[in-house]
Amino acid sequence: MVELTRVSANSGASRSRVRSAVPTTAGVVGTAARSLLSRFGAILIRINPFTLFWLLIVAILILPIVLFLAVAFSPRLLDQGTEWFTLSAFAQAVNGQLLLGLLHSLVIGVTTAVASAAVGFLLSWVVLRTNAPGRRIWTGVVFALLLTPSYLIALGWERLVEPNGVLQVLGWDPIWLRDVIYGPVGIVIVLTVKGIPFAFLAISNAMRGLGHEFEDAARVHGGGRIASLRIVLSLLAPAVWSALAIVFAESVSDFGVASTLANDAHFPVATYSLYNAVQAFPVNFPVASAVSWVLLILVVLALLAQSRALRGRSFRVLGGRSRPVLRVQLSRGAKVLCTLALFILLVISLGVPTFGAISASLIDGLGSLAGTHQWTLDNYQRVIVSPDLSQPLLFSAELAAITATVTLVLAVVCARLLANKGGSFGGRILDLVLLAAVALPGIVFAAGYIFAYNLPLTNTLGIHLYGTTALLVLAYLATALPSTSRVLVGTMSQIQESMSHAARVHGNGAIRSWLSIVLPVTARPMLSAWLLTYTATLLELPVSQLLAPPGSLPISVGITSTLAKYDFGGGTAMEVLAILSALAVVGVAYLLFKLIAPAGWRRIGRSA
Amino acid sequence: MIHKSRVAAGAAALTAMVLLAGCTSTQATSLTGSTSTAKVEPLVLYAAEAYDANMGKAFTAKTGIPVKVVDDSTGPLLTKIAAEKNNPQWSLFWADGDTAFSSLDQQGELLSYKPNAPWNAVGKAIVPSDNSYIPTGTTVMAALIYNSAKTTSVPTTYDDLATSAYTGKVGMNDPSQSGPTYPFIAGVMNQLGGQSAGVSDGEAYFTKLKSNGLKVYPTNGDTLHALETGQINYGLIQSSAATGEVVKVKPTSGYAPKIVYLPKSTLLPSVIGIDKAIDKTQQTEAKQFVDYALSPEGQKVMQGADLAGDSLFWPIVDNSTALTQLPAFPADYQRIDPTFWGPLQAQVVTWFDSNIK
């Protein structure tokens, strides 16, 4: 540490020497002007990339969101009403039901966020820091969960506990469980299961970067297990808060789970009024926009909590000398307990939706009076040869791969900005925009895209972006960026700048020092971020629905319309095959990383 | 700091490439569009019918006019159309239910067209007086599908469903999630109170059903599932979904679905609207498409696409006959006035959500 500081101090000195040498040669005015010009040019080059970055953020995130939000005040602006300025949309939207829904959403959001972060933290610890049996399967399980649509989780629970459902047919009528699942608790369970992958990826990425030296220090100074756990927890705070924020925002924007599982539980959530406004006719965008403003209040609350918690602390622990961690050797009793807990988690998280998929696509009429109740592969045989599956799947896979690659690059920049200590103004704005993009339901976000990129003005200028694959990719990018950035925040806030400075002083260029210093320590988190984006984009629905170019069908839209035509078996079989294809991509990616990546890249997070 | 900006530059460059690639491809499409045989432009069909893709292909094969289909559920398509309002991108919109079309017409978005079609009596009842949209066939709301293996009581009127024989055994869809369900509720309201009395008599009826244990499931599929599992014995769903279930299911001793139509059945036509904003060439092509959909050949294509669902509609032109799986058209039917009931949708759905669900 001391060495590195000295080196960077030297580097500062050498730079100032170079600078002071320049003016002495400038005797003539013209030369001075030239030098000024070249300096300006240099500044421009230095600023430009960030200006470009912000322009892009404005184009893909801020503009669509702002335009959508503007409709609440000015319907006339986008031809959604007659008035240029009015507050009537708020008067229509804000009523007792919305306020009750808001309260429900807040409770659901907080509970889900805390539950997902807790499970994600414990899971990361067990997988990375103990020798619990079966820990290796969890990276795969997490990606499977990420891919599992919430409708399959909800369907699984319904088929199990519904009246005359599978459990009752098997001889146990789960009356109390049914009441619990068909209501707020069921919503929280499903959304928590959907939140666990985000929490696990965010926290485990950061935990990998946390060497064992801090726990050692705590133990050396007489701290017990609890004390060292406290240290780990507080050093991982940026990642934990990232997980909390993203799961909170995702849960707040949910509509599907609440509307299917708690359909008749009289438990309105805030998004209910919003969907009612945009899916009925005449579509009322001003009211939807007013509800979005209210959702934004929740996001601001979440960000305030986050910035209070992280204020004024440093989390830079990822250096070249992070020490390999020691895995806790669990006693036999602890192993049994741990295995049992993991097994229960596996059953609840992945077992239930798998059961949902089986009941819908593999067993004819399972649990019902109709059908043969026989195992059958009919649905799979039918869809696997169908062009309705292969063409959309290839189309979506291609777009998901492009999106993942571009998102990764942008997310690295975003994560650096978000991780800046103290938080610059730009960083805070970015934080707000990224989280707002998640908290607003996808359909709203996509409608904002249509507002922004289907203006008659842009068409007159010859820009025809709406209805192109390019705009769909940009919207995917905007949809993926918030989660992907947040998954990387934990890692990025750990990187010690001094290492890169040292490399620069030793003569490496900016790119080379980034490749040789930052890339090796962040390679694995970046791989997981790429896979996260790929898998999340492959089955993304609302943006695909509104922005896919006419004539090309993303797989998620194909599946949804198959399901909507009562072909539950075929739709679910398509879904399962799409998930398996993505899991294959995840498997191959990790395998390649293991085989090809230099040993140094794989060192971070290794256990001794 | 410097390497950060390089990364940012890289990111921006990559995105610019994606953008450029997109723009190039658009240009390419528009170029081919304008250079190929002078007067052909592709039609953009927004549709929520199981037969839309087949119809697009068949029409192209017959006329050489390309059709780009955007197939989705009605809800997202309506959102898309509304968001495009200041610069519409669709040429034709095809979906079940005429209330949305009537509303589009009131906003001046539809091109009137009067096809020279041999309408039958039902067809004549549906065609709007200003010809602002064109029906292509009809289903009804609701068909009462019941499990004849579990019950022998068969209702003959809607009032029967509120009696003790049906307590806790009737299910229907949620109008905030199932497109065809609002027309059903509006139909009952129209039948009981009419346009003069408005919604109150209908509200009283659904309140009675609710106190008799009415169950509400999200969509047709969920209500059918409840019937299959014996949670209910009677389901009020769209006629095509009900007929599809009867066609698919082999009756057993536990489950044998049958259908009755209670008076009155509310017409739920599938309807095409032509976008007023398209140019003359596309207008001519769009009218050709409508004519094709109403021709015997087009009707055959529609009937061949989804034998367990959307193809099970009753034709409304004399040159086409219903699929044999369909029963005779319900004798006692009504058309509800979309200009009256359309604007009430948000109010009624919200009332249903807070009082019945």
A315-371 pLDDT per residue, tens: 766 665 666 677 778 888 998 999 999 999 999 998 988 888 888 788 777 667 777
How many structural domains does chain B have? 2
- pLDDT tens-place string over residues A43-69: 555 556 778 888 888 988 999 999 889
User: ∠ CA A14-A16-A22 to the nearest 5 degrees?
Assistant: 110
pLDDT at B13: 52
Residue of B nearest to A277 (CA): B346
Q: Do A413 and B99 touch (CB under 8 A)?
A: no
Tell me the three-class secondary structure of A317-362, residue by residue: CECCCCCCECCECCCHHHHHHHHHHHHHHHHHHHHHHHHHHHHHHC
CB A409 within 8 A of CB B11: yes
Smallest Cβ–Cβ distance between A370 and the set B7, B103, B249 belongs to B249
- pLDDT tens-place string over residues A454-467: 888 877 887 788 98
pLDDT at A135: 83
Chain A residues touching B11 at Cβ < 8 A: 53, 56, 406, 409-410, 412-413
Q: How many interface pairs between A and B have CB atoms less than 8 angstroms apart?
A: 244
Domain interval for residue B317: 35-138+270-329
Smallest Cβ–Cβ distance between B10 and the set A50, A409, A464 belongs to A409
For residue A239, the one-letter residue type is A
CB B311 within 8 A of CB B149: no
**Residue B21, H or E segment:** helix B2-35
Q: Which of A430, A408, A415 is nearest to A529 (CA)?
A: A408
On whether both B72 and B113 belong to a single domain, the answer is yes
On whether both B45 and B106 belong to a single domain, the answer is yes
Rounded distance between C-alpha atoms, residue A243 and residue A112, angstroms:
11
Q: Does B39 touch chain A (CB under 8 A)?
A: no
**Number of neighbouring beta carbons within 10 Å of residue B256:** 17
Q: Does A493 touch chain B (CB under 8 A)?
A: no
Rounded distance between C-alpha atoms, residue B189 and residue B198, angstroms:
7
On whether both B175 and B231 belong to a single domain, the answer is yes
**For the purposes of burial, counting CB atoms within 10 Å of the CB of A2, is it exposed (0-12), middle (13-18) or buried (19 or more)?**
exposed
On whether both B112 and B206 belong to a single domain, the answer is no
Eight-class DSSP state of A580: H
Rounded distance between C-alpha atoms, residue B286 and residue B47, angstroms:
14
- Chain-centroid distance of CA A8 in Å reads 36
On whether both B253 and B214 belong to a single domain, the answer is yes
Please indicate, yes or no, if residue B20 is contained in any of the structural domains: no
On whether both B224 and B312 belong to a single domain, the answer is no
Please indicate, yes or no, if residue B53 is contained in any of the structural domains: yes
pLDDT at B56: 96
Q: Which of A477, A475, A487 is nearest to A412 (CA)?
A: A487
Q: Which of B72, B95, B45, B69 is nearest to B269 (CA)?
A: B95
**For the purposes of burial, counting CB atoms within 10 Å of the CB of B54, is it exposed (0-12), middle (13-18) or buried (19 or more)?**
middle
pLDDT-flagged residues of chain B (< 50): 1-4, 6-7, 18-36
In DSSP terms, A327 is beta-bridged to none
- Chain-centroid distance of CA B114 in Å reads 21
CB B306 within 8 A of CB A565: yes
b/e map of A45-68 (b: 16 or more CB within 10 Å)? eeeebbebbbebbebbbbbbbebb
Give the A window 51-70 contacts with B, CB below 8 Å: 52-53, 55-56, 60
Q: Which two tokens stand for residue B90?
A: 């669709």
Q: For residues A113-132, give the mean pLDDT.
A: 92
A422 φ/ψ sector (left φ>0, alpha ψ -120 to 50, else beta): left
Rounded distance between C-alpha atoms, residue A475 and residue A448, angstroms:
10
Q: Does B143 touch chain A (CB under 8 A)?
A: no
Rounded distance between C-alpha atoms, residue B306 and residue A469, angstroms:
29
Q: Does B244 touch chain A (CB under 8 A)?
A: yes
Instruction: Judge if ipTM > 0.85.
Output: no
pLDDT at A318: 66
Cα dihedral sign for A194, A199, A205, A211? Answer: negative
Q: For residues A278-298, give the mean pLDDT.
A: 83
Q: Which two tokens stand for residue B222?
A: 């969920």
User: What percentage of chain A has pLDDT greater than the value 90?
Assistant: 18
Chain A residues touching B100 at Cβ < 8 A: 281
On whether both B150 and B255 belong to a single domain, the answer is yes
Please indicate, yes or no, if residue B100 is contained in any of the structural domains: yes
On whether both B151 and B261 belong to a single domain, the answer is yes
Averaged pLDDT of chain A: 81
CB A244 within 8 A of CB A196: no
Q: For residues A544-556, give the mean pLDDT.
A: 89
**Alpha carbon distances (Å) from A196 to A121, A126, A144, A147, A150:** 9, 14, 11, 12, 13
Rounded distance between C-alpha atoms, residue B96 and residue B90, angstroms:
17
Task: For residue B173, give the CATH number of its domain.
Answer: 3.40.190.10
Residue of A nearest to B75 (CA): A279
Q: Does A284 touch chain B (CB under 8 A)?
A: yes
Q: For residues A459-480, give the mean pLDDT.
A: 89
Q: For residues A522-540, give the mean pLDDT.
A: 90
Q: Which two tokens stand for residue A309?
A: 């918690």
Rounded distance between C-alpha atoms, residue A285 and residue A446, angstroms:
12
Q: What is the largest CA-CA distance in chain B?
A: 80
b/e map of B323-357 (b: 16 or more CB within 10 Å)? eeebeebbeebebbebeebbebbbebbbbbbeebb
Q: Which two tokens stand for residue B224?
A: 């059918």
pLDDT above 60 (res A15): no
Helices (H), A493-567: 497-505, 510-513, 519-538, 542-547, 555-564
User: ∠ CA A182-A188-A189 to the nearest 5 degrees?
Assistant: 80
For B43, list phi and psi in degrees, rounded to 5.
Answer: -90, 145
CB B94 within 8 A of CB B46: yes
In DSSP terms, B333 is beta-bridged to B265
Eight-class DSSP state of A370: S
Q: Do B79 and A283 touch (CB under 8 A)?
A: yes
pLDDT at B126: 94
pLDDT above 80 (res A565): no
pTM of the predicted protein model: 0.82
CB B265 within 8 A of CB B330: yes
Q: How far is A554 from chain B (nearest CA, A)?
A: 11
Q: How far is B21 from chain A (nearest CA, A)?
A: 7
On whether both B110 and B214 belong to a single domain, the answer is no
Q: Do B30 and A464 touch (CB under 8 A)?
A: yes
For residue B75, the one-letter residue type is G
Please indicate, yes or no, if residue B284 is contained in any of the structural domains: yes
Rounded distance between C-alpha atoms, residue B232 and residue A164, angstroms:
10
Q: Does A455 touch chain B (CB under 8 A)?
A: yes
Sorted by where each starts, the structural domains of chain A and their CATH numbers stand as 56-315+324-602 (1.10.3720.10)
Cα dihedral sign for A57, A58, A62, A67? Answer: negative
Strand order, beta sheet including B257-260: B215-217, B170-173, B234-237, B143-147, B257-260
Q: Which of B233, B267, B230 is nearest to B155 (CA)?
A: B233
CB A586 within 8 A of CB A532: no
Rounded distance between C-alpha atoms, residue A362 and residue A376, angstroms:
5
Interstrand relation of B234-237 and B143-147 (parallel, antiparallel or unpaired): antiparallel
On whether both B99 and B204 belong to a single domain, the answer is no
Q: Do A275 and B10 touch (CB under 8 A)?
A: no
- The residue with tokens 């499931």 is B217
Q: How far is B245 from chain A (nearest CA, A)?
A: 9
Smallest Cβ–Cβ distance between A565 and the set B224, B225, B309 belongs to B309
Please indicate, yes or no, if residue B291 is contained in any of the structural domains: yes
Please indicate, yes or no, if residue B25 is contained in any of the structural domains: no
User: What percentage of chain A has pLDDT greater than the value 70?
Assistant: 88
On whether both B252 and B178 belong to a single domain, the answer is yes
Please indicate, yes or no, if residue B7 is contained in any of the structural domains: no
pLDDT at A13: 36
Cα dihedral sign for B138, B142, B145, B151? Answer: negative
Give the B window 254-313 contacts with A, CB below 8 Å: 254-255, 306, 308-310
pLDDT at A607: 55
Chain B residues touching A464 at Cβ < 8 A: 23, 26, 30
Q: For residues A60-86, give the mean pLDDT.
A: 85
pLDDT at A603: 67
Which of residues B295 and A428 earns the better pLDDT score? B295
Q: How far is A584 from chain B (nearest CA, A)?
A: 26
- Give SS3 for B267: strand
On whether both B261 and B302 belong to a single domain, the answer is no
pLDDT above 80 (res A593): yes
**Number of neighbouring beta carbons within 10 Å of residue A341:** 14
- Give SS3 for B126: helix
Q: How far is B275 from chain A (nearest CA, A)?
A: 16
For residue A201, the one-letter residue type is L
Please indicate, yes or no, if residue B196 is contained in any of the structural domains: yes
Q: What is the CA radius of gyration of chain B?
A: 23
Q: Do B79 and A164 touch (CB under 8 A)?
A: no
